[in-house]
């Protein structure tokens, strides 16, 4: 009963405004605290929502990464297709670019170079064509009418190609810029350049002369460009002279090549 009486008295006092100054003072005193409490509450709500949605955000982020990877892969595939299209056009559609000796019975297998980690000399590289495509050991590798090298080893789906830069590769050549068709042998020189040897002193050989394969060593077909003479070394007392030869294309920059194969009848 006493609580009811006290409550009635407080209501009457509030109605007549007796406690108004006290209420105003309390509101003034506790207003900053109420504001901080509200800010804290909003922060706790945002933090809770963040952790509640973090799983979804992570999933969306992973999906975006996968989409970016797919797009990058498609872009790389388009670049490879464009390189192969350009190589096919250069190899077969430009008649004046074909070598003097074009083997009609040979198949030209378009192959992508994939690199080789164990070779530090830069004279070898893998290509994505192998036994199943008809490639055999010592198959010739060309690009347009330029001689690139030959196949050193063959696996089922890839081949190891050795470039002309290798000292293990030698090509019989002739000088198409000389009247006497000077002949000699070109081999790799320490994996960095080419060197022409076995040239008689009496034969013509000058800087800028173009050398092509002659086919006389029985390995490389004739008519493919090997390189251009960049420097001639000769000693009058010696019976032969030599020359430094530079390839006319950057062999190390090639991404696709053609491997010559011969179908069985």
Does this model's pTM top 0.75? My answer is: no
Long-range contacts of 203-206 (CB under 8 A, 24+ apart): 203/175, 203/178, 204/175, 204/178, 204/179, 204/180, 205/175, 205/178, 205/229, 205/232, 205/241, 205/243, 206/177, 206/178, 206/232
Structure confidence at residue 101 (pLDDT): 46
Residues of the chain with CATH 2.40.10.350: 105-265
Q: How would DSSP label each residue in 13-74?
A: HHHTTTTHHHHHHHHHHHHHHHHHHHHHHHHHHHHHHHHHHHHHHHHHHHHHHHHHHHHHHH
State the burial class of residue 226 (Cβ atoms within 10 Å of its Cβ: 0-12, 13-18, 19+): buried
Query: What fold is seen in the domain 105-265?
Result: Thrombin, subunit H (2.40.10)
- Residue 141 CA to residue 147 CA, distance in Å, equals 7
Q: What is the pLDDT along the chain (265 residues), one digit of tens a residue?
A: 655 555 555 555 555 555 555 555 444 444 555 556 556 665 666 666 666 666 666 677 777 777 766 666 666 555 555 555 565 556 655 545 454 445 567 788 888 888 765 666 678 889 999 999 889 999 999 988 889 999 999 999 999 999 998 888 999 999 988 887 889 999 988 666 899 998 988 898 999 999 999 989 888 988 889 999 999 998 888 889 999 999 888 877 888 899 988 765 4
């Amino acid at each position: 009963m006493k609580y009811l009486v006290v409550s009635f008295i407080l209501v009457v006092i509030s109605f007549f405004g007796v406690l108004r100054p006290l209420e105003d003072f309390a509101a003034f005193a506790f207003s900053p605290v109420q504001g901080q409490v509200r800010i804290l509450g909003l922060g706790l709500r945002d933090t809770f929502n963040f952790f509640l949605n973090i799983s979804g955000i992570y999933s969306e982020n992973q999906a975006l990464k996968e989409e970016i990877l797919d797009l990058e892969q498609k872009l790389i595939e388009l670049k490879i297709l464009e390189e192969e299209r350009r190589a096919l056009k250069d190899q077969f559609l430009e008649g004046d670019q074909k070598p003097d000796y074009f083997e009609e019975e040979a198949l030209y297998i378009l192959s992508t170079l994939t690199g080789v980690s164990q070779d530090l000399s830069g004279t070898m590289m893998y290509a994505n064509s192998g036994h199943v495509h008809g490639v055999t050991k010592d198959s010739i590798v060309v690009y347009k009418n330029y001689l690139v090298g030959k196949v050193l080893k063959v696996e089922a789906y890839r081949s190891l190609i050795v470039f002309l830069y290798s000292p293990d590769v030698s090509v019989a050549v002739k000088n198409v810029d000389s009247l006497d068709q000077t002949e000699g042998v070109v081999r790799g020189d320490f994996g960095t350049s080419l060197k022409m040897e076995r040239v008689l002193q009496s034969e013509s050989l000058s800087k800028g002369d173009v050398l092509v394969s002659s086919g006389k060593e029985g390995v490389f077909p004739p008519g493919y460009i090997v390189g251009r003479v960049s420097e001639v070394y000769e000693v009058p007392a010696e019976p032969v002279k030599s020359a430094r030869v530079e390839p006319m294309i950057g062999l190390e920059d090639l991404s696709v090549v053609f491997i010559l194969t011969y179908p069985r009848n």
